[in-house]
Each structure stands twice: as C-alpha cells, then as structure tokens.
Amino acid sequence: MAKMHSKKKGKSKSRKPILDSSEFGKGSEKLSKDEIAELAANYARQGMGPALIGERLKKDHGVKYVKQATGSRLVKVLESKGVKADIPQDMRDLMTKAVRVRRHLAKNNQDVYSRVRLIRIESKLLRLSRYYKSRGVLPSKWKYDPQQAELIVKGKA
C-alpha cells in the first residue's frame, strides 16, 4: 500500500535468505539438484500443481527454496523433466473459481454480488490469457470459453 498511497517508491524483489548447498535437505538427507528435480517430476505426474509440489518439497524433504537448490524455477525444472501443463496453474485456478461461481449462479440467479464477482474473475482470465498468448505459453488462437473451462476443471478433479 505504500506505493499506492504515498510518494515513496516501495520495495522490489523478495528478501529470501541465500542458503548454501548444505541446507538443501533435512538432517542427514542431502538432496542433489537431480534428486530434487526427479521428486518434483514424480509429484507432478501424480497430479499436483507447482504450489503444492513446492509445499511438499519443503515439508517432507526440507527443500526450502527450489530455485536456490536447483538454479531455476520449479516450472522450468518440470519442463526440463518433460512434465509440462497445457494450461498454467494460476489460470486453471481462476477457471475453477469461475466454474464454481457459474454453478452457484445457476441455482441462485438473484445473487447480484456473485454475478459481479464472475465478471471480475472472467476479466482476470482474459487479461491473463492475453499475457500468456504474448509470451507464447498459450497458442495464439486460444480463447476462454465457460463450457470448455468446465470440462477442463472436471478433467483435473
């Protein structure tokens, strides 16, 4: 809020502590870059998203920061192992929200607040899709469709 409501510049970058290689595993268990990448790929094949994989690596294996341990972000590690999601996780989460709100509106069509919320969620989806199209993550002909989103969400669950 400092940047928005004052003339100060605000802070950039996260201030994560830099760990040395001896801290990448729990106690006696020291994990190498390849072992961490393989664990992440196995979790992704089980259907976990990147956020859940990072959480699992932190809790079960003591890998605090995947980027510091492997030298690249978790999504890049998964891509190098051949496990790539067709739709990015943040977009999939927004689609899940939109599908949930649409189901709610089908039962409660008088709910104006949820209707406005759905409009906001879908506008976020459209902005995000435009960003991913410009980066080449999504195909240029990709378009958000509520019925298609419901099928995607059902396929995930």
| Burial class of 112 by CB neighbour count within 10 A (0 to 12, 13 to 18, 19+) | exposed
**One domain, residues 93 and 76:** no
- Tell me: pLDDT of 9 over 50: yes
**Claim: this prediction has a pTM higher than 0.75:** no
Domain presence at residue 49: yes
**What are the pLDDT digits (tens) for 92-148?**
999 999 999 999 999 999 999 999 999 999 999 999 999 999 999 999 999 999 998
Q: Is residue 29 part of a domain?
A: yes
User: CA 62 to CA 16: how far, in whole Å?
Assistant: 16
pLDDT band at 4 (very low <50, low <70, confident <90, very high): low
Statement to judge: residues 65 and 102 lie in one domain: no
In this structure, the answer to whether residues 94 and 57 fall within a common structural domain is no
Percent of the chain with pLDDT over 90: 47
The domain spanning residue 53 has which CATH number?
Answer: 1.10.10
Nearest to 63 by CA among 53, 75, 48: 53
Task: Report residue 55 as tokens.
Answer: 């959480």
For residues 24 and 4, what is the distance between their CA atoms, to the nearest angstrom? Answer: 37
d(CA 155, CA 153): 5
Asked if residues 77 and 40 have their Cβ atoms less than 8 Å apart, the reply is yes
Number of structural domains the chain divides into: 2
Residue 108 tokens read as: 């409660």
Per-residue pLDDT reduced to its tens digit, 21-32: 666 555 446 788
Q: State CA 100 to chain mean position distance.
A: 18
